[in-house]
Amino acid sequence: MTEDVEYARELRTTVDRAAVELRAMPDEVASVRPAPGKWSIKEIIGHLIDSASHNHQRFVRARWQDDLVFQGYQQDEWVAAQQYQSVPWDELVTLWQTYNRHLARVMAQVPLDVARREHRRHNLDQIAWQTLPVDRPATLEYFMRDYVGHLKHHLRQVAERRAALR
């Protein structure tokens, strides 16, 4: 195993802490949609599972690619198609936590020279959470850090939604 990079550690720590708080939340609270067309907490966690799934493949494949160009996906359609709203809450949280713990291991396994290699060709201007201009070189390390930032952003959303329901 390569050095345990701080973003992999941060992902693991963030997910484990959040999982405790999420499991303490009743299913009926996690199921509330704040407004028509807005995701419930269950659907936000489902979206984060989809994000983990897509980025898992991206992070593994990036080791052998000469670029950082990856297919995007239709987030709303994925959430709707998988019916996260009807999944038992504890099952959803367990899947999210376990998948992200695995993803943290994947991140930690990427050799630093591979993670920090600059790629002139990328589409992080389209698929990253904090986009990177297309004319600026991108690294897999940037993309993995961006993944952690995206996850934390949605966990803040979850905390805000939960606070509003109290």
pLDDT at residue 1 in the model: 44
Amino acid 81 reads A
**Is the residue at 67 inside a domain?**
yes
| Distance from C-alpha of 82 to C-alpha of 99, rounded to nearest angstrom | 16
**Is the residue at 148 inside a domain?**
yes
**Is the residue at 130 inside a domain?**
yes
**Is the residue at 1 inside a domain?**
no
**Is the residue at 59 inside a domain?**
yes
Pair of tokens at residue 130: 């904090």
Q: Are 143 and 68 spatial neighbours (Cβ–Cβ below 8 Å)?
A: yes
Whole-number mean pLDDT of the chain? 96
**Domain containing residue 65: CATH number:** 1.20.120.450
pLDDT tens digit string along 100-125?
999 999 999 999 999 999 999 999 99
| Cross-strand partners of 138 | 119
pLDDT at residue 3 in the model: 54
**DSSP 8-state code for residue 64:** T
Q: How many domains does the chain have?
A: 1
Q: Are 83 and 137 spatial neighbours (Cβ–Cβ below 8 Å)?
A: no
**Is the residue at 95 inside a domain?**
yes
Residue 20 has pLDDT above 60, yes or no: yes
pLDDT tens digit string along 128-156?
999 999 999 999 999 999 999 999 999 99
Q: Are 84 and 42 spatial neighbours (Cβ–Cβ below 8 Å)?
A: yes
Domain hosting 158: range is 6-165
